[in-house]
Homo-oligomer: A and B are copies of this chain.
Amino acid sequence: MNFELTKEFIDELRQRIEQKDEQGAHKMIEDLHAADIADVYDELNIQEARFIHIMLDSEKAADVLIELEQDDRERFLEVLPGDVIAKQFIDKLDSDDAADVLGELSGEKREEVLQYVQNLEQAGDIVDLLNYDEHSAGGLMAKELITVNENWNITTCLREMRKQAEDINEIYYVYVVDDEQKLKGTLSLKRLLLTPSTAKIKDIINTDVISVKTETPSEEVANIMDKYDLVALPVIDPLGRLVGRITIDDVVDVIREEAGRDYQMVSGITEKVEASDNTFQLTRARIPWLFIGLIGGIFGAQIIGMYEHDLGIYPEMAFFIPLIAAMGGNVGVQSSSIIVQSLAYNTLGIGGIGKKLLKELAVASINGLILSGIMLGYNFIAHDSFALTLTVSSALFAVIIFASSFGTFVPLLLDKLKIDPALATGPFITTVNDIMGLFIYLMIGRTLYAVL
């Protein structure tokens, strides 16, 4: 059952598609999981993928659609008429997946598709879900859930659950509500198995239930599910009424995306790309930060230009320009990324910006003393200019202190201003620290050379 995608498999499949061998091609993929079929599509061109897709049974075809990357899905759907999309996909999907797919279509096409959705309840759920911000609990949740009334007994409860379960893929939790649909608690399937059937739901309910509001941001949803080890999380509206539930598999995607976005930022990449994307996508994701780095470099050139005369007399001062710039960049990236990670995972602890900066200054001072000390020793032996030796070490210390403070302060500030603090990692911090480092170094150099 565990499938591994190989070049041989793809070659054979392509050959069958080319020969229009429908049966042969179908046989190769019919037993695969939807996620594996989506991986297969990634290696095919769109005509080949369509050839296979029309042979899948409609339940699986809909599942494969959900597993595709967003842009592949858009290309897939764009040529299909509205009624086919409605019948073959939207009717077969859970409400959250259906809303995600519809949300990607243009407004016009979306309305067309919605008209053709057979199941009116499903259509209503989807319209509801489309109203929520996609980065909120409302945007993540599905409407399919099993709810029972707190006043029922277990027999009634089981009967109702059977009825409701028909629309639902898998049951992890049963939610208990009162007559006004307000969430009162959860029912564990284990308790349900272990309790005599005359007992009331009220008596076996677990009221210790963690829930989120529809407007809770998805990062917070992820942190809550992770922290409390939850598999499903109920979502309530402002009146406390149960409106949906989020399952952990959707949140795993949020966690990966979030981690991926922070990783891209620190690497200087502006959009989600994978090594398998095309040259244009890869270039577009990479050039913006490189351009900003270039502007930074031009500023740096102008700063050095202001010291051209000094460099003409003391060319050895140029030796340590890359060292100072690199250390400023490295220290700044370290500081900012520790803060960004702690903000993301809510592990910053309590206490204000002042306290964080003070601790950072302590760390920076220790690092600065050690590294400047090493450079002092090295230059003392390697170079006979005392002015150079002193310039490098004192500039290195100053740059480390500056870069640490800046790298700590900026993300904290951005977070206070409700801007993504991850913007302050990677090339931005490196570029600013490069320029400031140069300035500090050359200024100290000019002063010390004049004095000594």
Contact = CB atoms under 8 A, between A and B. Distances in A.
Contacts of A231: 170, 172, 231, 247-249
Q: Max chain B CB contacts within 10 Å: which of A10, A162, A252, A371?
A: A252
Interface in A229-277: 229-231, 247-249, 251-253, 255-256, 259-260, 262-264, 266-269, 273-276
Interface string A206-245: 0011111000000000001111111100000000000000
Interface string A307-329: 01001100110111111111101
Given A304-B318, A323-B298, A326-B430, A263 B190 contact: no
A257 B330 CA distance: 22
Interface in A1-16: 1-2, 5-7, 10
A451 interface: no
A422 to B, nearest CB: 10
A162 B334 contact: no
19 contacts: A33-B228, A162-B193, A172-B172, A230-B249, A248-B252, A263-B263, A263-B337, A267-B333, A274-B348, A283-B363, A287-B371, A291-B371, A293-B327, A294-B323, A311-B315, A315-B318, A321-B322, A326-B430, A330-B430
B210 A293 contact: no
Interface stretch (A19-27, A104-112, A338-346): A338-346
Given A263-B263, A316-B308, A170 B158 contact: no
Contacts of A331: 286, 290
Interface in A190-213: 190, 193-194, 208-212
A165 interface: yes
Contacts of A247: 231
Contact of A311 (B33, B300, B318, B322): B318
A194 B163 CA distance: 9
Interface of A: 1-2, 5-7, 10, 33, 35, 42-43, 158, 161-162, 165-166, 168-172, 188-190, 193-194, 208-212, 224-231, 247-249, 251-253, 255-256, 259-260, 262-264, 266-269, 273-276, 279, 282-283, 286-287, 289-291, 293-294, 296-298, 300-302, 304-305, 308, 311-312, 315-316, 318-327, 329-331, 333-334, 337-339, 341-342, 345, 347-351, 356, 359, 362-363, 366-367, 370-371, 374-375, 378, 425-427, 430-431, 434, 438
